[in-house]
Amino acid sequence: MSLLKDAAVFEEVARSGNAQGLQNAQTIWRATLSDWRRDLLKQYRDKFVAHRAEPHPDKSVPELDHLIAISGRAVIMLAQLATGAGYPIDQKELDSYGYYQNARAFWRPWLPIHPQ
């Protein structure tokens, strides 16, 4: 994404794809970087997953919905980036609600309430 900030690089990539897809990818990327849930997920990854350290006392533990929201946004951003660079994406393969349902089914035993 940092390379696309250069106007010459942006124009060259857009010639084989489309500028609108690249602009969409940049907009989604900026929104993802500034999303408060991303910070929670990064803290959790850094402290619990990577280093098994003590969490920051002012930060809550992220919820599954936070992970789904951020990862879903990243998938859409990557699809826009690919389309903008000239690689066609089948939108049916980006069925985020279906993936959400599958993730919920997988995590169901660990959720605090088990809806029937």
3-state secondary structure 45-84: HHHHHHCCCCCCCCCCCCCHHHHHHHHHHHHHHHHHHHHH
Rg (CA), the chain: 18
pLDDT in tens, 55-83: 677 878 888 888 888 888 888 898 889 98
Tally the domains of the chain. 1
Q: What is the pLDDT at residue 88?
A: 80
Asked whether the beta carbons of 64 and 107 are under 8 A apart, the reply is yes
Classify residue 115: in a domain, yes or no.
Answer: no
Model confidence at 33, pLDDT cuts 50, 70, 90, reads: very high
Classify residue 48: in a domain, yes or no.
Answer: yes
Between 95 and 49, residue with greater pLDDT: 49
Mean residue pLDDT of the chain comes to 83
pLDDT in tens, 88-116: 877 666 666 666 677 777 777 777 665 55
Print the domain residue range for 82.
Answer: 3-110
Classify residue 62: in a domain, yes or no.
Answer: yes
Classify residue 11: in a domain, yes or no.
Answer: yes
- For helices 96-107 and 64-84, the axis angle rounded to 10 degrees is 150
Classify residue 12: in a domain, yes or no.
Answer: yes
Q: What is the pLDDT at residue 68?
A: 83
Classify residue 9: in a domain, yes or no.
Answer: yes
Classify residue 106: in a domain, yes or no.
Answer: yes
Classify residue 64: in a domain, yes or no.
Answer: yes
